[in-house]
Structure 1
């Protein structure tokens, strides 16, 4: 026997997951990030590595140390024949790419967004603050009106001259808010 449940199927759940806004936004961010990484890597390899290499004798990617001496490479192919080279120049180049990417993302995306959100929060707080002041002032005005009406009705001096005694401009069970 097959039990019928009203649960969405596997395909329906997958479609719902893909159609969520944040999944689409994430996919766009990954594609833009990959393209941006290519630009940063090109800047590092085309500008920064040669500048750093100008202080030395080689391009930054060619700096290395030999863990097991002597390190010999084939001049034609560039392959290591003997020894164990440590390519610390390549690591430094990748680290520079990371730092530049992080700086650009922070200064061009994160910092402006944080400032924008702070301004929005300040505007919202200011708006809520003025609404509270308006509500408080309206309440004060209503209290003053109530007190004035009570004073108008309470002009008598006898024992029956309470707020509910005698004719007055307001009829009803009693003062507002009591």
Structure 2
């Protein structure tokens, strides 16, 4: 009786890399990195200037002091402006991604699905109709056969 040989580490690694989900993940990361540049360009080139026209583009200078005096390195400073800026950047970026990419893609996929279902529905109606016609032909042939030869329907 031969013992089953364990696959080598190299064979296991090769099998891991060749699985579909690893390749799909790698493609998603590369596309995501490229897409990040587009989103950042929209946010920096369009959204931030519009927000800057209303207020300020840089919130980093807004802070509060927890101690009585915040001068130089003295005191405890809360940099809430940078937190607020990062939060706004995230919300703006998420809105750009949703409204410019996710929503249009979802509508497009829904339209494709509706077309596919409509095509399938038409195909089912045709198939049912053909089946009904074949049943009628069969019934007519059986009726003629029962009456015997020489009896025509008129």
> TM-score normalised to the size of structure 1?
0.66
1:130 CA drift (Å): 1.1
Say which of 137, 145, 150 aligns to 2:137. 145
Q: Partner residue of 2:56?
A: 53
- Match of residue 24 from structure 2: 22
* Ranges of 4+ aligned residues in structure 1 off by more than 6 Å: none
* 1:129/1:12 CA distance change after superposition, 3 Å: same
Q: Compared with structure 1, are the counterparts of its residues 154 and 11 closer, same or farther at alpha carbon in structure 2 (3 Å cutoff)?
A: same
In the superposition, relative to structure 1, how do residues 125 and 46 fare at CA in structure 2: closer, same or farther (>3 Å)?
A: closer
State the distance in 1 between where 2:142 and 2:5 align. Answer: 64
Please state how far the C-alpha of 1:132 moved relative to its aligned partner. 1.0
Distance 1:65 1:102 in 2: 28
Structure 2 CA distance for aligned equivalents of residues 17 and 33 of structure 1: 27
1:117-132 matches, within 5 Å, as: 117-132=109-124
More deviation, 25-34/124-133: 25-34
**What TM-score, normalized by structure 2, do the two folds share?**
0.75
Question: Is the 8 Å Cα contact of residues 40 and 93 (structure 2) preserved in structure 1?
Answer: no
Q: Which structure: greater helix fraction?
A: 2
Is residue 100 from structure 1 mapped to residue 102 from structure 2 by the alignment?
no
Q: Using the TM superposition, give the Cα deviation of residue 121 of structure 1 relative to its aligned residue in structure 2, in angstroms.
A: 1.2
**Pairs within 5 Å for 1:6-21:** 6-19=5-18, 20=20, 21=23
Q: Which has the larger radius of gyration?
A: 1
Aligned length: 146
- What runs of 5+ residues in structure 2 fail to find an aligned partner? none
Select the structure with the greater relative contact order (CA < 8 A; seq sep ≥ 6). 2
User: Can you give the 5+ residue segments of structure 1 that lack an aligned partner in the other structure?
Assistant: 74-80, 156-165, 169-178
SS in 2 for 1:15: helix
